Structure formats: structure tokens, C-alpha cells
Structure 1
Amino acid sequence: MEGVKKVVLLTGASGFVGRSLLKSLAKTDNYYLRGCARNIDSVECNDVQLIAVGDMDGETQWNGIAQGVDVVVHAAARVHVMNDTSADPLAEFRKVNVAGTLNLARQAAACGVKRFIFISSIKVNGEATLLGTPFRADDVPAPVDPYGVSKLEAELELLALSKSTGMEVVIIRPVLVYGPGVKANFHSMIAFLAKGLPIPLPFASVNNKRSLVSLDNLVDLIETCIVHPAAANQIFLVSDGDDISTPELMRKVAYSVGSKVFLIQFPVMVLTWLATLLGKQSVATRLFGSLQVDISKNYSLLGWVPPVSLEASLKKTADAYLESKPE
């Protein structure tokens, strides 16, 4: 019925994506919002019911929290961990990403939740693509690492649950997400380039393409999937829709932070060999390899195109870094 507010339950409300989504949803008058996280002390958002649920696993009780909810957006996860030292990394990922997800979904279905949106990962598709041959949403999954395997297992369980309960499931697989407040390697790159050091970097020979997605564009697609009827029981890949090479990315970020980057020609095969020798093969894959996604399905089914350009998103991210950097 038009004008009736939806009740939306968001998990991972304290995370990088969750915070941004919660703030965006709260700006409208279309939703009653419940934000859940392990700890909500760091979450600041008006007109949102915030609920601390501790660790989200197969034992978490959701019945009281999920009652009366129309849509669940499940953004909480055990995220990809570089140099994971767990004795059994896959088992650790499964506790949260599979058992925790299915526990929430089953209780949500029992409470009458109509739609369950699962924030998955492009790692379900795989780690790399051939240049000009992007991943598509209907490709056969080929996860390589335990994180990607756990996300695929959760997807399959959710789709099976949808068939048995009638609860609609929407799966979104983002590529690398960046935006104001981004951490990890993307933050390190910005911080390094912002120093403006006159150090020549051996990346000019890299001829690759990477798909990225800004927080603004990912949040916009999630919001579209909350309400769009055609999103039901579909899988979507998401990016900014404008792929970029490693040299191009460095130049654009350097320009945005007011620096220059000096790139020189150097054989990529040698760079890859050196990285492998140093145990940094995964880093080499991200720097020198391609990972592209085709998001045409998003437009054909939902009429969705990324509302913010790659260049504008990179500048917004760089500006936020400069504003937060200590003098």
C-alpha cells in the first residue's frame, strides 16, 4: 500500500557499508529502521532503533528482533582476512558467514519477513578475469579462498530456503568497496600518494582493468533492491560501471590529493615474479591482474545505473582523507 513505511532490519550497522546505508535510509521518511551490530557504541544515527547482538553465529536469537520486519539487509560478516592465522580458516568463516546467516534467515522467514538481502562478495565468482571478459551474475561460481567459499555456501542455502519458505532472497556481490573512511590497502595507497614523494613507481607497463564500487553506488543499489519487485530471487554484481587500470587509479588518486605520481616502465612479468618470491602473489594479482564485472543486468531488470561517477567518488574519498589527516 502506497505510503506505508517498511520496517528494515540491518545487520552490520557499525561496519563500513552498514553505517553508510543506515545514514542514507534514515534521511528518508520511508522506513522504520532497526540497526544491529556486535557493539553499537560507535553507531551514531538518529531515529534508528539500535540493538547490540554480540557475535552473530548459529546461536544468535533473532525472533524478538525480526518480529514485524519487512526486509532484512544482512551486511554483517566475518570479512576477508589477509594472512589469516586461524588453524582452520574455512571453519571460522562458516561459523559467521554460513551458520550465522542461515540462522538469521530461518528465524526471519518464521517471523514473516518478506525479503532478505544478502551482501555477498565478488569472490564468489573468482579472483580474476581475462582483460575484457568480465564476470556476470549468472556465471558458474568459482571461489578460490575460504572467504569466497563461505559466501557461496551461504548464497546456496539462502536460495534453497527461499524455495521452501517463500521469503524472497536478493544477493548482491560487490567488488572492492571504497569511499570516505576506507581502510586497508586502499587507504594505504591514498596515504602513500598523498606524501608526494618523488619516488618512481614501476607500474606504467601494467595493462589491466579493475572494477571498483563506491559506497554511494553500493548503497544506492541496496536501497533499490529493498523496494524493487524485480529484484526478488536475483543475483546482482555491482560496480561503478567504469573500470580502471592500476596506473590510471594511481594518477587519479594522486591528482585528487594534490600530488604527482611518477610511473616508469618495468616488465610486469618481472614484477609478478618478485612479488611471488616475496610471498605477495595475492598483492600482485590485485595490482597487475584484471577483475571486471558486467552490471548490465542491474539496468535491464531494475533500471539501475550507478548514480555517482568513478572520478567523483575517488575525489570524495580523497577529500575525506585529507580532511581527517592530522596536521
Structure 2
Amino acid sequence: MIFLTGATGFVGSALLKRLVDDGVDVFALVREGSHSLPAGVKSLTWDLSALAEIGGLPPHFVSYNDRKQNQNDGKDFNGLDSLAMTLKNSDVVVHAAARAHIMNDESIDPLAEYRKVNRDATLTLASLAAESGVKRFVFISSIKVNGEMTSAGMPFEAEISEPPVDPYGLSKYEAEQGLLEIANETGMEVVIIRPPLVYGPGAPGNFASLVNWVKRGIPLPLGSVQNQRSLVALDNLVDFIALCADRERSPKAANEVFLISDGREVSTSELLRSVAKAYGVKSRLLPIPVGLMKFAAKLLGKGAVADRLFANLQVDSLKAHELLGWKLVITMDQQLAKMAEYDKKSFK
């Protein structure tokens, strides 16, 4: 059985559908008030923030049982007992839940909020999974662990030279380090997957905003942007996660870090033209000089947004193909066409 967190999120819901279609027995961890799950999928309601409060103590592995026997901090472990019983029947955990990256985070201490869910809750769940006999823990991390941008022709690889500065990326990095330590201490296999921007039906955030602007025919000053960015189609990412969650098919994935992408780079302008083509609308991209736009963005306090639109971010995903024999299941044009079809059905 696969224990899946984030089962109602963008990636998690697509993965859940794929696993159910494949006949895999899935148990989902969901938040209070989450959407209904496919028939036959059992679920447990739990808030990751509450899980973090009980005991993520990274980067050092601390036994759940040791913590339970030393309740000097007064924390209640009763809730974890039911979660532990569920994990005892699971072979693999796929942890797709997270506090997502927020562009304009207004939290008093954003790093503390990211750490609570992305680091502490992750390591609490992983340590409990290890003691419950789970064989493999698949962690959906982020390319932000590597950084925000690359130099042309120098794609990110799994190994990194220094921790990220971005609070979201740092929380994911610290979770990764703690997971590898838990793997070393307990023997539970850990697989870490760092995707770049994920696009597909129902994609949230800035990508959804860009698509909406293109669909509405709003002129965008991005016609001169010739950067190189790696993306990953939702179908490709889901297929790779499903592969890593199958220990028989991917024994070599144990304790490895994978960067995953569509295997091609596109400029922001090329991406938007492809979106326009998929939706059957005219591309309206104005050839405004990039330097001028960067200057204007900094004056408006939007320098970080400009970096994401104009900078390079290339990913080397060769390891996934060579080590695991994984192959792409969909092209960018095909995934964008599925997005357009999904939107047509959703708004009928």
C-alpha cells in the first residue's frame, strides 16, 4: 500500500488518480474539509501543522518511541498512534504535501512557517514511517533547493555547493538533509525528487495567471525574452513519481536525488506562444527590451518576479533516464493541449 500526503493538491490529486487507475492500494492523508477522494481510497484527516508541533527535530534523527517515552515537553502523542497504525500497513510513503512557495509572503517569520510544515512535519512523518516499517519514503522537494537561476549552458544537477537563501528552498533543503540522515540511521529508503515549474490541467499560481492573460488576449511585453528554462509536464512528473514509488521497478532509486524535467528548455516568449497555440488564440507579445523591463520591475519592487520571467533555469534530468530507464510520456504541446481541453470542460 502507498500512503500519500497532499492527495487533493495539484500534483497529489493527479498522482492519486494515476495510482488508482493502476490498481494500486492507496491511503491518503488529507486536511479537514478536503475534497472528496476517488472511490475505494481510504483516508485519514490530519493537519501537517499539528504534525510539526509534535516533534520534527531536524537534522538529527530522534526516535518516535524515544520522544514518546520522554514527554517532558507535555506534547500529546495519542494522535500519532493512529497514524502509526496506518503506516504499519504501508510499504511506501509519497509525501507531496507542503507549504507552497508564496511570492508575497506576509508572515512575520516566513522561514519559521516554511520550516514548520516543509521540514518539521516532513521529518516527524518520516521518522514515524521508519519505525512503522515503511520501506521507502518518496519526498517531492523543489528545484529551489538548487537556487533561483542558472548561467546559460550550466544546468542544475543533484549535487549542490551551498544551501539556498530563499526561505521556501531552505526549508526543503533542510528536510532533504534530515531525510537522508533518517535513511542512514534506520535503513528506510529515501527518494528525493526536485521538479522545476510544473504545468498541466489545474496548474495554480503564476503560471495560471500567465495562461489567463494569454487566453484573454492581453498584450504582454515579453516578446524579446530569450532565456532558457526547464519545466516539467504534470503527466511526466506523475509518471516519474509513480515509478519511484514502485520499489520493484526502481530499486536503483533508493537514497538518490533526482532533478526531473521535460528534457528541453524554452524561453518565456516561446512558452507563451505555445500556450496561445494550444488555446487557439493569437499570441500578443510586445518586443520590449529586457533591460528596460528589469529596470521598471526593480522600481516597482518586483525584481524577484522579473528574475523568474527573464532568467535562465536549466535542469539536468539525465540521471532519471540513465539510472532508472525512465522515458517521457508526454510532450509540452500535448500537455498544453490537455490543459486547454480541461479548461473548456471546466467552464462549460
1:255 matches 2:249: no
Match of 2:194 in 1: 173
Indicate conservation of the 8 Å contact 1:78/1:97, yes or no: yes
Matches within 5 A, 1:196-235: 196-197=217-218, 199=219, 201-227=220-246, 228-235=250-257
1:79 matches 2:72: no
Whole-angstrom distance in 1 between the partners of 2:139 and 2:236: 16
Matches within 5 A, 1:58-77: 58=52, 59=54, 61=80, 62-77=83-98
Q: Secondary structure at the match of 2:26?
A: strand
The letter for the 1-side match of 2:26 is L
Match of 2:324 in 1: 302
Indicate conservation of the 8 Å contact 2:48/2:121, yes or no: no
Q: CA deviation at 1:65?
A: 2.1
The letter for the 1-side match of 2:269 is P
Q: Secondary structure at the match of 1:96?
A: helix
1:197-223 alpha-carbon deviations (Å, 9 max, x no partner): 4x3x32222110111111111110001
Q: TM-score, normalised by structure 2?
A: 0.88
Matches within 5 A, 1:137-152: 137-152=158-173
Whole-angstrom distance in 2 between the partners of 1:187 and 1:41: 21
Q: CA deviation at 1:325?
A: 3.1
1:267 matches 2:260: no
Aligned residues: 317
Q: Matched residues, percent identical?
A: 50
Q: TM-score, normalised by structure 1?
A: 0.93
1:34 matches 2:27: yes
Indicate conservation of the 8 Å contact 2:8/2:30, yes or no: yes
Q: CA deviation at 1:254?
A: 0.8
Whole-angstrom distance in 2 between the partners of 1:141 and 1:16: 30
Indicate conservation of the 8 Å contact 1:40/1:50, yes or no: no
Whole-angstrom distance in 2 between the partners of 1:41 and 1:151: 24
Q: CA deviation at 1:296?
A: 0.3
- Bigger CA drift: 163-172 or 176-185? 176-185
Indicate conservation of the 8 Å contact 1:242/1:310, yes or no: no
1:11 matches 2:33: no
Q: CA deviation at 1:298?
A: 0.4
Indicate conservation of the 8 Å contact 1:170/1:225, yes or no: yes
Where does structure 1 differ by over 6 angstroms across 4 or more consecutive aligned residues? none
| Structure 1 residues 130 and 142: CA distance shift in structure 2, 3 A | farther
Match for 2:15 among 21, 26, 29?
21
1:48 matches 2:41: yes
1:176-197 alpha-carbon deviations (Å, 9 max, x no partner): 1111111221111111111224
Unaligned segments of structure 2, at least 5 residues: 55-78
Whole-angstrom distance in 2 between the partners of 1:246 and 1:125: 20
Match of 1:323 in 2: 345
